[in-house]
A and B are shown apart, each in its own frame.
Chain A
Amino acid sequence: MGNHSDGSPKHSGTVATAGQNEVEKFQDPGLPPHRLRLADTDPKAAKRAERQVAILFGVSIVGTLIFLGAYFAIDLGDDSTIATIRNQNLLLGLGTAFAMLGIGTGIVHWAKALMPDHEVSEERHGIRTEEDRQAAVRIVDDIVEETGIKRRPLIRNTLLGAVALAPLPAIAVFGDLGPRPDDKLAHTMWAPQDGKLKRLTRDPDGTPIKASDVTIGSAFHVIPEGLNELHEGKLNEKAKAVVLLMRLNPDSLKISPGREDWSYNGIVAYSKICTHVGCPVALYEQQTHHLLCPCHQSTFDLTQECKVIFGPASRPLPQLPIAVDAEGYLVATSDFKEPVGPSYWERDEHERLINS
């Protein structure tokens, strides 16, 4: 490059001003002369290219045979191993690849080496001619005139009204796509049923958990008692009710007023559903007491009632108030005191509803 050390492009030559371009342009020298290929001049080279194309088509035939062989010779019985499936997949794939690449590269090689390679120039035509435009305008004018729509505003206006309203049923018919949300998002299965407190049970087998089972450093993945017996809407309930149960040294917990009886001897239970967009926040670091969401990395500090300390979440994880029943099993003393999971427009309304 030149010695334009000051870096300004304006110094790199004369600055062309508008209009100057036109007079001082280079003339287009036209298409460069055509170069002949080896196969154009040497019959042997042409013959060689012909053979190569034929070989490539032959490769394709072999590929097809490999595919058929792998399909019919390898049987996926009940006792087929993963290795069998892997081998069959590999052979089917390689067969297809050879079959396709053989045809493809063969045709392209044929086109490149043997078909004429003269570059041709074709004129472009205007996309629209003025004559066409005028003819079109006349036609449209005539059509509009013949309908008389300009002279009959009553017809025009009622038609516009009818057309504007006609799509409404098409929108209305989607009204049954789903039920109204009401306050479904505000409640979970943890609410005591008929005065009986729900036990915390293990996910996935549903066996109850004793407080003594939960040693310091433990993390239990918890579902409410009775969830596995549900048939209708089991996953819907599970999607709201899953809880992570952990025990840490009671001294390290900072408990805010009103939550004194929500934990038991350092055992705490928090909703596993991230307050960001709802992934299960299940990564518990037992030494730092951080909970991490693997989807978007929101980090919650367990010792500060799951306050957000990093990431896109904005609200702490809801805490489930727990206690121990007469037999020593952990129970939820009530439902969550706020809606779980990601925020939604009516969330604050629902929180007030729960606490009223």
Chain B
Amino acid sequence: MSASSTADVPFEAKTKVGRFTDFVDERVGGSGILREFGRKVFPDHWSFMFGEVALYSFVILLMSGTFLTFFFDPSMAETHYDGSYTPLYNVEMSVAYSSSLNISFDVRGGLFMRQVHHWAALLFVASLGVHMLRVFFTGAFRKPREMNWVVGGVLLILAMAAGFTGYSLPDDLLSGNGLRIIDGVIKSIPVIGTYISFFLFGGEFPGTAIIGRLYVLHILLVPALILLMIVIHLFMVVVHKHTQYPGPGRNDGNVVGYPLGPVYAAKAGGFFFIVFGVIALMAAAFTINPIWNYGPYDPSPVSAGTQPDWYIGFVDGALRLMPGVVNDFHFEYVIFGQTLTLNVLLPALVPAGIIFTVLFTYPWIERWITKDNREHHVLDRPRNAPTRTAIGVAGFTWYCVMWAAAGSDLIATHFHVSLNDVTYWLRALFFVGPIIAFIVTKRVALALQRKDREIALHGRETGRIVRLPHGEFIEVHAPLDDYKQYKLVGFESPAPLPAQPNEHGVVTRKEKRRAALSKWFFEDRVAPATPAEVEAAHGHHEAIEGSEQKSLSH
């Protein structure tokens, strides 16, 4: 900044803006902050933007949500609708539903705000999910970012909680049946389930308390926690600096990219408006959550296609897949005179429990297997960590099977197949899907690595066909430049780490297990091409190019 004058002559700003800035700076120390962050370097890659999409969606959620609170009334008192939507005129409903309808039909721009809010919510959770997938598949969760990965996982859970509490607020038939399913799941909890249900709903389902309680959670507690977690998350991003993809000039000791000011700040700032614009487009032209179709909540009716929003879908899908009776075994049975409802409890808790437990502990699991305690700031290309990539795809496949199960009825009607068959197939895929995905992904990753290796060794295909003197046709390969070559060879391919004795010279059973896992993790590997190999291939290449090319051909 301009405060480069000597210490004994106090700085005097010349312009009005300058004086104002100086006033603030003297009191908060902005110069130091700006010096620290003004030119901070951020790597640029499209896959690094999903966290920003989530952050911006959250900001849009706060803004549109604030507007909605001015008109929404979370009361469950009975009223008769007298707004302008005639197909519901004079229908008995709760004040909450009536005010949601008023927002949609009688507040100018209210419907737009509702649609912005709901689309932004769906996008918020979706971008969080994609962001986490990106972090997982590139190994960005490794030291020193394990804790930030956990904070991200907490954010995902909070986002789902925010979404679900919001989904329930309009008190329409769809969300009411959603709450009823939640009530049924809560009641299946052994010993305390019935009490939790009565405490949550303030008595029997549906009662008159739940909407007000969810409202407070939705507009106060959950967003405050999300905000807190975002602050922690971003603080740690600043501490760690961003990761970067491997490439020439990039290593674990530096960060290569654009400075915050002006380029990165402009891009990131501009991107907020782009995300907002895309959400506004969706809200302009595509209906979301048409509460007027569903009608007020009433415990008697239900609509075909009653499903939760997508992020709760995998739990709903698991509930659908679980058979209640297998042969003559009933998953609900009486134990010590009390009812145990495993047909609800297992699918509601176990898959989500496994997914989140593995998600939260994965950085430590991998660290234990690989005994890799180094800091990693350069990302792995997913193909260069085949086992991790395969684990990720297997987990995602498992999630997707349950996700698909939540739409089993729509799959049946749209593809003209039997609903029951869809369920049978998905039950099978629930078990074999992840295994197939693991094997296929690992093979694909290894194949891609081999392709990289071949290109590094023999250069890229030029598409130029040459006829050799003895009549054979070959395609000429051109050598890569140093930068492209480094991208293909500049990665680590660790070998399995055998079991090692501890300080007493004993190889513990735990260490043996770790070694076995390490073998499984690193056994199938393609080593990066070494300079010697490239040299050999090259010499070879020039001497008897034809026969070498032949061995390369398919």
Name A residues whose Cβ lies closer than 8 Å to a Cβ of B.
1-4, 7, 9-10, 12-18, 21, 24-26, 28-32, 71, 74, 76, 78-80, 85, 88-94, 96-108, 110-112, 115-117, 119-124, 127, 174, 177-181, 184-185, 203-204, 221, 223, 233, 235-236, 238-240, 242, 272-274, 276-280, 282-283, 294-298, 308, 310-315, 341-349, 352
Contact = CB atoms under 8 A, between A and B. Distances in A.
A28 B259 contact: no
A94 B281 CA distance: 6
Nearest to B76: A235
Interface in B196-218: 197-207, 209
Interface string B283-300: 111000000000001111
Contacts of A123: 253-254
B272 A297 contact: no
B312 to A, nearest CB: 13
A111 B554 contact: no
Given A101-B277, A124-B253, A180 B198 contact: yes
A117 B552 contact: no
Interface string B311-337: 000001001111111000011101001
A29 B482 contact: yes
Given A21-B492, A90-B285, A276-B184, A1 B347 contact: no
Given A238-B298, A239-B204, A344 B194 contact: yes
B199 A1 contact: no
B267 A108 contact: yes
B420 A28 contact: no
A273 B301 CA distance: 10
A71 B111 CA distance: 12
B201 A178 contact: yes
B58 to A, nearest CB: 16
Nearest to A236: B204
Contacts of A31: 248-249, 256
Given A9-B450, A71-B108, A345-B191, A115 B266 contact: yes
A344 B283 contact: no
Contact of A92 (B203, B284, B297): B284
Contacts of B25: none
Contacts of B554: 1, 3
Given A93-B285, A296-B319, A297-B423, A120 B195 contact: no
A31 to B, nearest CB: 3
A120 B485 contact: no
A78 B86 CA distance: 10
28 contacts: A1-B451, A9-B524, A13-B529, A15-B525, A16-B528, A16-B530, A32-B483, A74-B108, A79-B84, A90-B284, A92-B109, A94-B281, A97-B284, A105-B270, A107-B266, A107-B269, A119-B257, A127-B240, A177-B199, A177-B200, A178-B195, A184-B204, A296-B319, A311-B324, A312-B322, A314-B343, A344-B188, A346-B194
B203 A16 contact: no
B545 interface: no
Given A9-B525, A76-B106, A349-B338, A120 B206 contact: no
Interface in B43-80: none
Contact of A120 (B111, B192, B253, B259): B259
B198 A179 contact: yes
Contact of B532 (A24, A94, A117, A221): A24
B489 A26 contact: yes
B109 A26 contact: no
A21 B206 CA distance: 65
What class of interface size applies to chain B in its complex with A? 35 or more
Contacts of A100: 273-274, 276-277, 280
Nearest to A313: B324
Contacts of A295: 177, 181, 302, 306
Given A236-B207, A345-B191, A121 B531 contact: no
Contacts of A238: 298-300
A308 to B, nearest CB: 5
Q: 3 tightest CB-CB pairs across the interface, nearest first?
A: A93-B284, A277-B184, A104-B273
A105 B273 CA distance: 8
Contacts of B490: 25-26, 28
Interface string B121-143: 00000000000000000000000
Contacts of B384: none
A296 B241 CA distance: 46
Classify the interface of chain A: helix, strand, loop or mixed. loop
A283 B552 CA distance: 62
Contact of A18 (B263, B281, B304, B495): B495
A294 B332 contact: no
Given A2-B454, A26-B531, A181-B194, A278 B181 contact: yes
Q: Which of A25, A184, A221, A314 has the most CB of B within 10 A?
A: A314
A76 B276 contact: no
Contacts of B304: 283, 294
Q: Which of A18, A100, A112, A179 has the most CB of B within 10 A?
A: A100
B40 interface: yes
Contacts of A111: 262-263, 266-267, 270
A312 B475 CA distance: 60
B305 A294 contact: yes
A283 B155 CA distance: 39
A298 B420 CA distance: 10
Interface in B474-519: 482-483, 485-486, 489-490, 492-495, 497
A347 B432 CA distance: 36
A312 B343 contact: yes
A344 B338 CA distance: 8
B205 A110 contact: no
B341 A314 contact: yes
Interface string B160-203: 00000000000000000100110111011111111101111111
Given A4-B450, A32-B249, A108 B302 contact: no
Contacts of B330: 314-315
A345 B190 contact: yes
Contacts of B271: 104, 108
A259 B338 CA distance: 25
B372 interface: no
B390 interface: no
Contact of B144 (A102, A127, A279, A312): A127
Contact of B257 (A17, A120, A185): A120
B284 A29 contact: no
Given A2-B551, A16-B495, A279 B306 contact: yes
Contact of A279 (B181, B253, B273, B419): B181
B105 A76 contact: yes
A17 B188 contact: no
B41 interface: yes
Contacts of B205: 236, 239, 278
A204 to B, nearest CB: 8
A17 to B, nearest CB: 6
Interface in B520-554: 524-533, 551-554
B187 to A, nearest CB: 4
Contacts of B446: 9
Interface in B213-229: none
B270 A297 contact: no
Contacts of A308: 324-325
A108 B253 contact: no
Q: Which of A74, A282, A312 has the most CB of B within 10 A?
A: A312
A236 B199 CA distance: 15
Given A121-B41, A178-B202, 16 more contacts: A4-B450, A13-B453, A16-B530, A29-B248, A97-B281, A100-B277, A104-B270, A123-B254, A177-B199, A235-B206, A236-B205, A294-B303, A312-B347, A344-B193, A345-B187, A348-B338
Contact of B187 (A1, A26, A80, A343): A343
Given A16-B527, A96-B280, A181 B248 contact: no
